[in-house]
Every structure is written in C-alpha cells, then in structure tokens.
Amino acid sequence: MTRPLCFLASRAEPAAADAEYASVLTHTGLGAEQLVRVRLEQGERPGALTEYAGLILGGSPFTVSTPEADKSSIQRDVEHALAELLDEVVAQDVPFLGLCYGIGVVGRWGGGVVDGRHAEDTAAVTISLTDEGLTDPLLVGMPAQFQAYVGHKEACTELPPGAVVLATSSACPVQMYRFAPRAYVTQFHPEMDAEAVRLRIEVYAHAGYFPPDEVAEVIERTARADVAPAHRVLRAFADLAAAAPPGLTGRDASPGTQPSR
C-alpha cells in the first residue's frame, strides 16, 4: 500500500479507544504506519483525503439520533466534521468503511432515517448477506451467513436514497449497506473478537447498552461466539483500498450508487 489508510476515531475512553485501534490493525493486517489514527473527539482532522488510500470510521458511544440540544459540543463538532468528510468521500470516490457509528452518521448525512426501532443488545448475532451482498466486490467469498458482534441503541430504518442493503439480521434489517461505489457502512462490528468485546462491555457497563448488573452474563454469552468470518470484511476493505486508483469517479468505479442529498 503506497498510501496509508486513515482511521477516524471518536472514543474518549483510553482503554476502549486503544483497543479498537489495535483490533482494526490486527484484522486489516496493517502496521501502525499504514493506518493513521485521527482522534476526532480531540479536535484532530485528517487533512487532504488524497494523502490516504481510504478511510475507516470506528465505532462510538455517540448516537446521531440524540436530540441536538442534548448532544455535547464534542459530539456536534465530530458529526459536523464527518458530514464534511462524507461530502469529500463521495465527490472524490474515496474508499470508506464505517463501523456501527458509521451507519448512523452516514444514514443521517445521506437523508435516511436513523432511530431506536431496531436497536440490538450486546450479543453475537447471525448476519445474512443479501443477493447484492453476495456479489459485492467487498464481500465476494464471504459465507452467506456468519456471526458478528452487535450492540447499538439506534439503527437505520430507512436507507439514504441510492444506498444498497448488503447484509441483514433477524432483529435489524439493515446490517450493512453500500452508499457509493467503494463506500460502505456496517451496523455489526467486524473488528471485535471475544477479548475486544469483553473490554468494550466493561468500559461501557454504565452507558445504557445493558443493565450494569448483567455485565458478567453479557461477557459469558458473547465469549462463546465464533466471529472469525466477520473479520474478513476489514482485510477485504484494506485490499480494496490498496487496489483502488486514486481520483476515480463514480462512473468509472466498481458497481454502486450514491445517495442523493
């Protein structure tokens, strides 16, 4: 990879932030010099997107459906910065992968509906690829069904115009979609393994994802899952970004559509 990927982070909790970055490094197969971390919650910004082969947006305790008046100034700044970046991602056809928080950010930015109707408890669930997912360049070779970790207070209930659903689950109809030729979001967490989800559970024990007195039970039920196939999404994205010619327009890129805004 001649240019690094950029990892956009917004977790303020040091243990969760560092573990998330480590997990993405592991499952993309990249070294730290190939995955530049930008801490959006600390006011950092990535600069010119031409410096990067692509962007990965990590998860976050933020929820975009929180009323604006109730959001912290940090959350509002992060979401404003991400909206500007997404304009550039689509205009410049930059490879993009948003994890969990990304589906909320992109859904709201792109004109979809994000709310709490399809929230999921912290667990490993069965993800099923749609017909479009089975043939998507990022997901070719993935099993039609696989286990992945979820845990979210909001989800996409109406897609942004032009987006294509690639994966679903029984409780959450939109688990992954493509919104531009090489731009994707997942509701599930392809970066998390059992150790990563255990740490996340402990860090966010009082964040409203589950009753705090159920921490041990949530850790026990998630530890049994085999989520290895889900990790392949990250390595496939790193490979896709490395192979993508810079500056390609949507008309010349791999199949996909762009949301109208």
Q: pLDDT of 226-258, one tens digit each?
A: 999 999 999 999 999 999 877 554 434 444 455
Token pair for residue 170? Answer: 């029984």
End-to-end Cα distance, the chain: 32
* pLDDT, greater one: 221 or 172: 172
Q: What is the mean pLDDT of residues 72-78?
A: 98
Phi-psi region of 151 (alpha: psi -120 to 50; beta: other; left: phi over 0): left
pLDDT at 221 over 90: no
Q: Say what the pLDDT of residue 16 is.
A: 93
**pLDDT at position 260 over 60:** no
Given strand 183-186, what is the order of strands in its sheet? 35-39, 5-9, 54-57, 96-99, 183-186, 176-180, 164-168, 120-129, 145-152
Show me where the domains of the chain are located.
Answer: 5-252
Confidence of residue 259 (pLDDT cuts 50, 70, 90): low
Query: Would the pLDDT of 198 be above 60?
Result: yes
pLDDT for 64 equals 96
Q: Could you give the CA distance from residue 244 to residue 217 in angstroms, rounded to a whole number?
A: 43
Answer whether residue 261 shows pLDDT above 80.
no
The pTM (predicted TM-score) of the whole model is 0.91
Torsion of CA 76, 65, 6, 26, to 10 degrees: 130
Half-sphere exposure of 41 (CA within 13 A, CB side): 15
- Give yes or no for a contact between 82 and 9, defined as CB atoms under 8 angstroms apart: no
Please tell me whether residue 85 adopts helix, strand or coil conformation: helix
Residue 164 clears pLDDT 90, i.e. is over it: yes
Higher pLDDT: 253 or 215? It is 215
Per-residue pLDDT, averaged over 103-116, amounts to: 96
Q: Would you identify the CATH topology of the domain 5-252?
A: Rossmann fold (3.40.50)
64-69 — which CB contacts under 8 Å span 24+ positions? Answer: 64/101, 64/104, 64/105, 64/107, 64/108, 64/114, 64/154, 65/104, 65/108, 65/114, 65/115, 65/116, 65/153, 65/154
